[in-house]
Amino acid sequence: MHITYFTSESVTEGHPDKVCDQISDAILDSILEKDTEARVACETLVTTGLVMVVGEITTECYVEIPDIVRKTLKRIGYDSCDSGLSYENCAIIESIHPQTQDIKQGVDETKGHEQGAGDQGLMFGFACKETPQLMPLPIYLAHQLTYRLSLMRKEGELLWALPDGKSQVTVEYHDGKPVRVSSVVIAIHHRKDVVIDEIRESVLGKVIRPVLGDLLDEKTSLHINATGRFEVGGPQADAGLTGRKIIVDTYGGYARHGGGAFSGKDPSKVDRSAAYMARYIAKNIVAADLADKCEVQLSYSIGVADPLSVFVETFGTGKLPDEKLVDIVKKEFPLKPRKIIEYLDLKRPIYRKTAAYGHFGREDSDFTWEKTDKTEVLKTYLT
């Protein structure tokens, strides 16, 4: 028997980097509510007492960025200086300018010119049968832990908890099949008037056991606030930036990543829209039983509509040759930016909620890239 271990991590919505992702996507949503044709590339930085919003935005509408920032911070739970950032008292700096004409002329659809990709780049999508959501088990469990940490905090079950936090899960595989969780790491930001024993007992009983269940055993190694204290957290402890948690956002390192971040970008940016389509393709291939594991790569050039390459890898689990699957993908799935946007209905204000707990493996009707509605068509290729 071949035994291996794989580890993935997640962060709560109060982690400084995730705060930035949510602010950037909240601004994007606010603009899309008024102007679906807007071009948005919005980046955020947070640090002690300060939020800075920068980027390129071209739109016919106006949104009050400071108001969006404060509402987002309040929703997350940064409601006092003690929490690491106060939504009421923090300073907010903006530096926004329009998208350059050089990019605009390649992206906009005009007479004689099809809408091209908003930038060059390569995007990966992945799916496997380790979970019902067709996600790798380590990242799925890591997200479930951080989500429950935040849920218990908001519901008053962890009165001492503050917004910042992280999880890490190591899964043990036997001959490529997940069988148990070998270790769990939890770091949770907390108020000063709580002892470490209470933190560890509460997190184990109210978060870890409900999420992991039978995957835990007496040999599972648990590390809950391993330094003993986590009193200073959030932006007060660590500066945050949009787009710095791209592995958390996708597959936890289990699959390859092209390097492009998602948050703050409108769907004309293939970093986002093509990554969603690649996930949709991979998930439908696996759901249709054409493979047990599938990775899809799409690549683009700025201003060009057609992808430069389409790559499919099934890691020896495919019912059809990988090159045949490439032909099927090109025939059955829209791959040009405008067609992707239309097919997945991406010009909607749906993005703030993607900015924490992963963009994939979520059961939400707005996450159209998670649908498996192409399975019946794909199954016909097996007959």
Residues whose CB falls within 8 Å of the CB of residue 222, separated by 6 or more in sequence, listed in order: 183, 184, 204, 208
- Examine the residue annotation and report whether 345 is marked as an active-site residue of this protein: no
Exposed / middle / buried, residue 194 (Cβ in 10 Å: 0-12, 13-18, 19+):
middle
- Examine the residue annotation and report whether 67 is marked as an active-site residue of this protein: no
Residue 104 has pLDDT above 70, yes or no: no
Residue 111 has pLDDT above 60, yes or no: no
Contact in structure between 188 and 225 (CB atoms under 8 Å): yes
Please give the single-letter amino acid code of residue 179: V
- Examine the residue annotation and report whether 230 is marked as an active-site residue of this protein: yes
Which of the four pLDDT bands, split at 50, 70 and 90, describes residue 113? low
SS3 114: coil
Residue carrying the six token digits 């159209």 = 368
| H-type alpha helices, 165-221 | 196-203, 209-212
pLDDT digits (tens, 9 = 90+) for 134-182: 999 999 999 999 999 999 999 999 999 999 999 999 999 999 999 999 9
Residue 105 has pLDDT above 60, yes or no: no
- Examine the residue annotation and report whether 257 is marked as an active-site residue of this protein: no
* Alpha-carbon gap, residue 117 to 120, rounded angstroms: 7
Exposed / middle / buried, residue 279 (Cβ in 10 Å: 0-12, 13-18, 19+):
buried
pLDDT digits (tens, 9 = 90+) for 317-364: 999 999 999 999 999 999 999 999 999 999 999 999 999 999 999 999
> What predicted TM-score, i.e. pTM, was given to this entire model?
0.95
pLDDT digits (tens, 9 = 90+) for 189-199: 999 999 999 99
| The one catalytic residue among 13, 17, 130, 172 | 17
Please give the single-letter amino acid code of residue 112: G
Dig out the tokens for 158 from the structure.
């962890």
* Alpha-carbon gap, residue 32 to 120, rounded angstroms: 23
pLDDT digits (tens, 9 = 90+) for 176-222: 999 999 999 999 999 999 999 999 999 999 999 999 999 999 999 99
Dig out the tokens for 139 from the structure.
């990242």
* Alpha-carbon gap, residue 253 to 188, rounded angstroms: 22
- Examine the residue annotation and report whether 166 is marked as an active-site residue of this protein: yes
- Examine the residue annotation and report whether 43 is marked as an active-site residue of this protein: yes
pLDDT digits (tens, 9 = 90+) for 268-287: 999 999 999 999 999 999 99
> Taking the alpha carbons of 289, 290, 296, 298 in that order, is the dihedral positive or negative?
negative
* Alpha-carbon gap, residue 119 to 139, rounded angstroms: 28
* Alpha-carbon gap, residue 270 to 265, rounded angstroms: 9
| The one catalytic residue among 56, 157, 231, 332 | 56
- Examine the residue annotation and report whether 192 is marked as an active-site residue of this protein: no
| The one catalytic residue among 6, 9, 13, 15 | 15
* Alpha-carbon gap, residue 352 to 41, rounded angstroms: 14
Contact in structure between 358 and 8 (CB atoms under 8 Å): no
| The one catalytic residue among 6, 9, 13, 18 | 18
Which of the four pLDDT bands, split at 50, 70 and 90, describes residue 259? very high
Residue 109 has pLDDT above 90, yes or no: no
Q: Which of 170, 162, 263, 265 is nearest to 220 (CA)?
A: 170
| The one catalytic residue among 269, 293, 336, 359 | 269
- Examine the residue annotation and report whether 271 is marked as an active-site residue of this protein: yes
Pairing of strands 50-58, 39-47: antiparallel
**What per-residue string of b and e applies to 2-34 under the rule 16 or more CB within 10 Å gives b?**
eeeebbbbbbbbbbbbbbbbbbbbbbbbbbbee
Length of the chain measured in residues: 383
* Alpha-carbon gap, residue 187 to 163, rounded angstroms: 11
